[in-house]
Structure 1
Amino acid sequence: MAFAGKWETETQEGYDAFCKLLGIPDDIIEKGRDYKLITEVTQDGNDFSWTQIYPTNAKVTNKFTIGKECDMETIGGKKFKATVSMDGGKLSVTFPNYHHTSEICGGKLVETSTAGSVVLKRTSKKL
């Protein structure tokens, strides 16, 4: 249950390059650059509810069970099917344009999104 709780962004690396690669407009990138993204996670065994609250108060909630295909949604509203896996305590899922992992390192939530050679790494503290 290490992921459960409310998290707030402390640092992010590669934000601009990653957002540009995904086609996010410059004005939205600017608004989000220093925003403290809030991530709320509930976990019941292998069942998760993962909510992210963005600068415009937009919310995206994805509910999933480890190892089972589910319906998911991107911040842009694109719906897709994916299977979240867990290996060594690290959650892993492939979105339409990138691969995403989440893990707890030193009491922090570390999320890494990789699209080709572009990497966004976000570290969040527990609230």
Structure 2
Amino acid sequence: MAFTGKFEFESEKNYDEFMKHLGLPADVIAKWHGFKIITEVQQDGQDFTWTQYYSGGNTMTNKFTIGKECEIQTMGGKKFKATVKMEGGKVVADFPNYHQTSEIVGDKLVEIFTIGDVTYERVSKRLA
């Protein structure tokens, strides 16, 4: 499927401002800045397993089915109920404090996180 693959963090835009809008303290923002994230996505039709491996050995996995309510964990470790959608080839989720879209553009996973008018973009390249 289009999203299946393993992706390595390549670049980000507007990280600091976005994290400040999330309400994270400066020391946490600094600690997470530039984390080397590996994202592994398994897609089987409408079913997804989305795993992120962070520097330092932390791992976060979310499993969801497009259009069905599920439990999602945020980057900060909080859990909430959400219904993940597919809109125009993008995986779309509304988190408690932000909106996220993820899409495949060429050989890259592009994730856009938005709070009001503040947008954070994270781009990861597909690993062979």
Hey, what does 1:117 align to over in structure 2?
A: 117
Matched residue SS, 1:34: coil
- Deviating above 4 A after TM superposition, structure 1's stretches of 4 or more consecutive aligned residues are none
Hey, what does 1:33 align to over in structure 2?
A: 33
Report Cα offsets for 1:54-81 as digits up to 9, x if no partner: 2342221110000111111112221111
Q: CA deviation at 1:2?
A: 1.4
When residues 56 and 25 of structure 1 are mapped into structure 2, their CA distance, relative to the original with a 3 A threshold, is: farther
CA RMSD of aligned residues (A): 1.2
Task: Report the TM-score, using the length of structure 1 for normalisation.
Answer: 0.93
Distance 2:124 2:16 in 1: 18
Distance 1:25 1:111 in 2: 23
Task: Report the TM-score, using the length of structure 2 for normalisation.
Answer: 0.93
Aligned letter for 1:25?
A: P
Hey, what does 2:47 align to over in structure 1?
A: 47
Distance 1:3 1:17 in 2: 28
8 Å contact kept, 1:31–1:55:
no
**Gaps spanning 5+ residues in structure 1: where?**
none
Counting aligned pairs with the same residue, the percent is: 60
Hey, what does 2:106 align to over in structure 1?
A: 106
Distance 2:32 2:95 in 1: 20
**Gaps spanning 5+ residues in structure 2: where?**
none
Aligned letter for 2:5?
A: G
Hey, what does 2:10 align to over in structure 1?
A: 10
When residues 38 and 13 of structure 1 are mapped into structure 2, their CA distance, relative to the original with a 3 A threshold, is: same
Q: CA deviation at 1:28?
A: 2.5
Aligned letter for 1:69?
A: E
Hey, what does 1:85 align to over in structure 2?
A: 85
Aligned letter for 1:88?
A: G
